[in-house]
Chains A and B, each alone.
Chain A
Amino acid sequence: MNPFVFHSPTKVTFGEGASWTAAEVAKDFGATKTFIVTDAILMKTGILKPIIESFEENSYCLFTDVPSDSDVDTVDKAAAIAREFGANCVLAIGGGSVIDTAKVVNICLSLGGPLLDYQGLNNLSDRLGPLICIPTTAGTGSEVSMVAMVKNHKEGKKLLFGSRFLAPDAAILDPTLLLSLPPKLTAATGLDAITHGIESFSAVISSSPFTDAMCMEALKMLFENLPRATANGADMEARSATLIASAMAGVAFTNSGVGIVHALAHATGATFGTHHGLANSILLPHCMNFNMDSIANRYALISRYLNFSSSTNDNDAAAALIKAVSDISAQVGLPTRLRDCGIPVLDKRQLDELAFLASTDPAIMFNPKESSAQDIIGIYERAY
Chain B
Amino acid sequence: MPVYATTEELNATMYELWTAIKQDPDMGPKLLQSKMIAQFHYREPDGRITVDCSDGTEMKIYTGECAVKPVVEMFMKSDVAHEFWLGKIGIPVAILTGKIVSKGPVNQALALLPVIKPAFDLYPAIYSKHCSSAVAAK
Contact = CB atoms under 8 A, between A and B. Distances in A.
Interface of A: 2-5, 117, 119-123, 157, 159-160, 162, 164, 205-206, 255-257, 356-357, 359-362, 364-366
A122 B90 contact: no
A365 B92 contact: yes
Interface in B92-120: 92-93, 95-98, 100-108, 110-111, 114
14 contacts: A4-B97, A120-B103, A120-B106, A122-B98, A122-B102, A123-B103, A205-B92, A205-B93, A357-B107, A359-B111, A360-B111, A364-B110, A365-B91, A365-B92
Contacts of A364: 110
Contacts of A356: 111
B104 A120 contact: yes
Nearest to A208: B96
A283 B103 CA distance: 30
Interface in B64-103: 73, 90-93, 95-98, 100-103
A120 B92 contact: no
A150 to B, nearest CB: 13
B81 to A, nearest CB: 15
Top 6 A-B pairs, shortest CB-CB distance? A365-B92, A120-B103, A360-B107, A360-B111, A122-B101, A121-B102
B97 A5 contact: yes
A123 B105 CA distance: 11
A245 B96 CA distance: 23
Contacts of A206: 92-93, 96
Contacts of A257: 92, 96
Q: Which of A2, A122, A160, A356 has the most CB of B within 10 A?
A: A122
B96 A361 contact: no
A346 to B, nearest CB: 20
B99 to A, nearest CB: 9
Contacts, number: 70
A376 B94 CA distance: 25
Contact of A3 (B91, B92, B97): B97
Nearest to A6: B96
Q: Which of A121, A255, A356, A360 has the most CB of B within 10 A?
A: A121
B44 to A, nearest CB: 17
Contact of B105 (A4, A119, A162, A366): A119
A121 B95 contact: yes
Contacts of B102: 120-123
B96 A255 contact: yes
Contact of B92 (A119, A123, A360, A366): A366
Given A357-B107, A361-B107, 6 more contacts: A120-B102, A120-B103, A121-B106, A360-B111, A361-B110, A362-B106
Q: Is the interface of A mostly helix, strand, loop or mixed?
A: mixed
B101 to A, nearest CB: 4
Interface of B: 73, 90-93, 95-98, 100-108, 110-111, 114
Nearest to B95: A121
B93 to A, nearest CB: 6
Nearest to A362: B106
A205 B105 CA distance: 23
Nearest to B98: A122
Nearest to B92: A365
Contacts of B111: 356, 359-360
Nearest to A365: B92
A357 B96 CA distance: 22
B95 A122 contact: yes
Q: Which of B96, B103, B108, B114 has the most CB of A within 10 A?
A: B96
A159 B102 CA distance: 13
B93 A120 contact: no
Given A360-B111, A362-B110, A122 B100 contact: yes
Nearest to B108: A360
A337 to B, nearest CB: 27
A159 B107 CA distance: 10
Contacts of B90: 205, 365
A303 to B, nearest CB: 25
